[in-house]
């Protein structure tokens, strides 16, 4: 049997994790002198609360020893493992997983070159292929093709969290706040770039963002789309789902919550529409 494994940053719903028996390797979140495990003993709402209280939250990669324990548990009954990691340009998780898998036969690590449900698409795909009893090497090869087709982006309401993490300057964050700019963040060639900047309220900007992402439906893989949000009002998520239904024809529209890593870097009122292109 082939087991599907992923870092906690894949941001899949509990239902999908259960359906494909995905084994999750949690990243760490350090708050002061406390270390938590992403999605195990800390949630995005906790992150937002700590930040509001003035604490600094830092994410940490899964280390080699933790991956060794993780792979040991998955292979102890003779199963093989396909592990989809957080993109190598975002974290050392991939490098650590590759170092760990050298101690095991039947473990393959895939660099998702993505984050959140951009990686989640690969995990979902791996689950389908494992169910079809495809060979391990073939699953890895297929995922390395699929990862080039993922269209991953998020729109964020504020730059304050990115500024705290050193990913933009406090001056840039303040300027965006004054001008009411809402930037979209896109994943291109395995790295994050700033896409279009929208102006106005979060909901108004979000509508424009969604319409921009869905402007060329003929190029979409119609299998599924993820709507992944952090700290968003349910009515806003429902509005985005309706827009997706109206402007595209995906077989599945899957709503998921962004995990602690995205939440810590981007803050509340962050939402992405992530799909595959043909």
CATH number at residue 181: 3.30.1180.10
Look at residues 14, 96, 99, 42 and name the one whose alpha carbon lies nearest to residue 261.
42
pLDDT at position 266: 84
pLDDT at position 114: 97
pLDDT at position 168: 43
Kindly give the confidence (pLDDT) of every residue in the chain, 278 residues in length, as a single tens digit, with 9 standing for 90 and above: 999 999 999 999 999 999 999 999 999 999 988 999 999 999 999 999 998 898 888 999 999 999 999 999 999 999 999 999 999 999 999 999 999 999 999 999 999 999 999 999 999 999 999 999 999 999 999 999 999 999 999 998 876 655 455 444 343 434 344 346 788 889 999 988 888 889 889 999 999 999 999 999 999 999 999 999 999 999 999 999 999 999 999 999 999 999 998 898 888 999 999 999 99
Q: Are residues 134 and 240 in the same domain?
A: no
pLDDT at position 169: 38
Interatomic CA distance for residues 240 and 253, integer angstroms: 10
pLDDT at position 102: 94
Provide the token pair at 3: 């087991």
Domain boundary (148, 163, 183) is at 148
Whether 72 is in a domain gets the answer yes
Domain boundary (116, 148, 180) is at 148
Whether 224 is in a domain gets the answer yes
Q: Are residues 188 and 80 in the same domain?
A: no
pLDDT at position 158: 74
Interatomic CA distance for residues 165 and 161, integer angstroms: 6
pTM of the complete model: 0.93
Whether 96 is in a domain gets the answer yes
Q: Are residues 23 and 125 in the same domain?
A: yes
Domain boundary (148, 166, 182) is at 148
Q: Which domain holds residue 125?
A: 2-27+62-148
pLDDT at position 199: 86
Interatomic CA distance for residues 72 and 69, integer angstroms: 5
Q: Are residues 202 and 188 in the same domain?
A: yes
Interatomic CA distance for residues 182 and 102, integer angstroms: 43
Whether 38 is in a domain gets the answer no
Domain count, the chain: 2
CATH number at residue 117: 3.40.50.10440
pLDDT at position 171: 35
Q: Are residues 143 and 196 in the same domain?
A: no
Q: Are residues 120 and 157 in the same domain?
A: no
Whether the CB-CB separation of 261 and 228 falls below 8 Å is answered with: no
Q: Are residues 85 and 213 in the same domain?
A: no
| H-helix or E-strand spanning residue 136 | helix 136-146
Whether 51 is in a domain gets the answer no
Provide the token pair at 228: 């992944």
Q: Are residues 185 and 218 in the same domain?
A: yes
Q: Are residues 133 and 164 in the same domain?
A: no
What phi-psi label fits residue 122: left (phi over 0), alpha (psi between -120 and 50 degrees) or beta? alpha
Q: Are residues 74 and 116 in the same domain?
A: yes
Q: Are residues 261 and 170 in the same domain?
A: yes
Interatomic CA distance for residues 18 and 270, integer angstroms: 25
Provide the token pair at 14: 């509990």
Whether 49 is in a domain gets the answer no
Q: Are residues 102 and 185 in the same domain?
A: no
Whether 73 is in a domain gets the answer yes
pLDDT at position 278: 95
Whether 43 is in a domain gets the answer no
């Amino acid at each position: 049997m082939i087991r599907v494994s992923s870092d906690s940053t894949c941001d899949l719903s509990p239902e999908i994790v259960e359906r494909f028996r995905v084994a999750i390797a949690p990243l760490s979140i350090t708050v002061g002198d406390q270390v938590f495990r992403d999605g195990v003993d800390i949630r995005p709402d906790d992150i937002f609360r700590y930040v509001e209280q003035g604490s600094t939250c830092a994410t940490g990669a899964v280390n080699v020893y933790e991956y060794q324990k993780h792979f040991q548990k998955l292979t102890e009954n003779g199963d093989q493992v396909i592990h989809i990691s957080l993109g190598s340009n975002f974290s050392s998780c991939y490098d650590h997983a590759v170092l760990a898998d050298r101690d095991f036969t039947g473990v393959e690590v895939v660099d998702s070159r993505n984050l959140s449900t951009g990686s989640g698409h690969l995990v979902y795909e791996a689950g389908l292929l494992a169910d079809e009893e495809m060979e391990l090497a073939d699953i890895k090869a297929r995922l390395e093709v699929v990862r080039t087709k993922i269209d991953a982006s998020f729109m964020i309401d504020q730059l304050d969290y990115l500024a705290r993490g050193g990913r933009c300057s406090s001056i840039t964050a303040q300027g965006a706040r004054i001008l009411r700019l809402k930037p979209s963040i896109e994943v291109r060639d395995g790295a994050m770039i700033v896409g279009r900047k929208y102006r106005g309220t979060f909901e108004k900007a979000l509508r424009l963002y969604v319409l921009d992402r869905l402007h060329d439906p003929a190029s979409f893989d119609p299998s599924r789309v993820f709507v992944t949000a952090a700290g968003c009002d349910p009515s806003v998520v429902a509005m985005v789902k309706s827009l997706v239904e109206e402007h595209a024809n995906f077989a599945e529209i899957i709503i998921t919550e962004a995990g602690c890593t995205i939440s810590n870097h981007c803050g509340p009122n962050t939402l992405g529409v992530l799909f595959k292109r043909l």
